[in-house]
Structure 1
Amino acid sequence: MIGLPSYHAIAAIAVTIGMFVAFARGRMPVEIVSLLTIAVIAVGLYFFPLPDTQPTDGLVLAFSGFGHYALITICALMIMGRGLVVTGALEPAARFLERVFKINGQLGLLVSLVVAMLLSMGVNDTPVMVLLLPIFVQLAARGGMAASKTLIPLNAAILIGGMATTIGTSTNILVASIAVDLGMREMGVFDFTPIVLVTAMFALPYLWLVMPRMLGDNRVENTTQLRRFETRLRITENSILNGRELSEVIKRLPAGVTFSDVPLGLIRPNQRLRMSGTHEAIEEAARILRGDTAPSWVLDRIKRRSEESGIDIAVVEMTVTADSRLLGRSLPSSGIADLYGVAVIGTHRPERLVGEKEQFSEGGDLKIAEGDVLLVMGLPDDLQQFASADSLLTLEGMRELPRRSKAVLTGVIMLGSIAPASLGLVPIAISALAGAIVMFVTGCVKFDRVGRALSGKVIVLVAASIALGKLVLDSGAADWIGTVMAMGLAYLSPAAALAAVMLSVTFLTNFASNATAATVGTPIAFAIANRLGLPPEPMVLAVLFGCNLCYATPIAYQTNMLIMSEGSYEFRDYIRTGVPLVLLMVTVLSATLVVTYGL
Structure 2
Amino acid sequence: MELPTPHALAAMIMTVGVFVAFARGKPSIEIVSLFTIALIGVGLYFYPLPDSLPTDGLALAFAGFGHPALITICALMIMGRGLVVTGALEPAALVLERVWKLNVQLGMLVSLLLALFLSMIVNDTPVLVLLMPIFVALAQRGAMPASKTLIPLNAAVLIGGMATTIGTSTNLLVVGIAQDLGMPQMSVFHYTPIVLMAAAVALPYLWLVMPRLLPDNTPEQTQAVRRFFSHLRVTPSSELAGRHFDEIVDRLHDDFRFEERPKGKFEPGQRFLISGTHDGLESAIRVLRGQVAPSWVIDQIVEQSQQRREDIQVVEMVVTADSRLVGRTLASSGIADRYGVAVLGVHKPRRALLGEEAAPIGPDIRLEEGDVLLVMGLADGIDPFRSTDSLLQLEGVREVPRRSKALLAAAIMFGAVALASVGLPWIGSGGLYLVKVPIAISALAGAIVMFVTGCVKFDRVGRALSAKVIVLVAASIAIGRIVLESGAAGWLGETLALGLQYLPPAGVLMAIMLFVTVLTNFASNATAATVGTPIAFAIATELGLPTEPLVLAVLFGCNLCYATPIAYQTNMLIMAEGNYSFADYVKTGVPLVLIMVTTLSILLVTTYGM
Q: TM-score range by the shorter chain?
A: over 0.9
The equivalent residue for 1:574 is: 585
- Is the Cα–Cα contact under 8 Å of residues 65 and 71 in structure 1 kept in the other structure? yes
Instruction: Say which of 451, 463, 477 aligns to 2:488.
Output: 477
The alignment partner of 2:229 has SS state of strand
> Structure 2 matches for 1:39-438, cutoff 5 A?
39-220=38-219, 222=221, 226-255=225-254, 257-260=256-259, 265-352=264-351, 365-423=364-422, 425-438=436-449
Structure 2: tracts of 5 or more residues without a match: 424-435
Q: Deviations over 1:277-331 (max 9, x none)?
A: 2232222222222111111111011011111112211112223344444344433
Letter in 2 for 1:470: R
Distance 1:258 1:44 in 2: 62
The equivalent residue for 1:560 is: 571
Letter in 1 for 2:454: G
Letter in 2 for 1:195: I
Larger displacement relative to structure 2 (308-317 or 111-120): 308-317
How many Å apart are 1:228 and its aligned residue?
A: 2.5
Distance 1:273 1:204 in 2: 46
The equivalent residue for 1:38 is: 37
Give the TM-score, by structure 2 length: 0.93
- Is the Cα–Cα contact under 8 Å of residues 359 and 367 in structure 1 kept in the other structure? no
The alignment partner of 1:291 has SS state of coil
Q: Deviations over 1:315-373 (max 9, x none)?
A: 122233444443444333332222211111212333439999x9999xx5434344433
The equivalent residue for 1:530 is: 541
Distance 1:245 1:225 in 2: 33
Say if 1:53 and 1:255 are closer, same or farther in 2 by CA, change over 3 A: closer
The equivalent residue for 2:431 is: none
Letter in 2 for 1:486: A
Instruction: Say which of 443, 450, 455 aligns to 2:454.
Output: 443
- Is the Cα–Cα contact under 8 Å of residues 88 and 406 in structure 2 kept in the other structure? yes
Distance 1:548 1:24 in 2: 21
Letter in 2 for 1:392: L
Larger displacement relative to structure 2 (391-400 or 303-312): 391-400
Distance 2:51 2:321 in 1: 77
* 2:544 corresponds to 1:545: no
Say if 1:185 and 1:224 are closer, same or farther in 2 by CA, change over 3 A: closer
How many Å apart are 1:251 and its aligned residue?
A: 4.3
Distance 1:559 1:80 in 2: 15
How many Å apart are 1:125 and its aligned residue?
A: 0.6
Say if 1:590 and 1:322 are closer, same or farther in 2 by CA, change over 3 A: closer
Letter in 1 for 2:509: L
Aligned length: 595
Distance 1:5 1:423 in 2: 44
The equivalent residue for 2:429 is: none
Structure 1: tracts of 5 or more residues without a match: none
Distance 1:441 1:125 in 2: 27
How many Å apart are 1:261 and its aligned residue?
A: 5.7
Distance 1:109 1:258 in 2: 26
Distance 1:187 1:521 in 2: 18
Larger displacement relative to structure 2 (328-337 or 55-64): 328-337
Distance 2:369 2:14 in 1: 63
How many Å apart are 1:494 and its aligned residue?
A: 0.9
Distance 1:136 1:245 in 2: 30
The alignment partner of 1:402 has SS state of coil
Letter in 2 for 1:499: M
Say if 1:69 and 1:248 are closer, same or farther in 2 by CA, change over 3 A: closer
The alignment partner of 2:285 has SS state of helix
The equivalent residue for 1:27 is: 26
Give the TM-score, by structure 1 length: 0.95
The alignment partner of 1:49 has SS state of coil
Larger displacement relative to structure 2 (217-226 or 14-23): 217-226
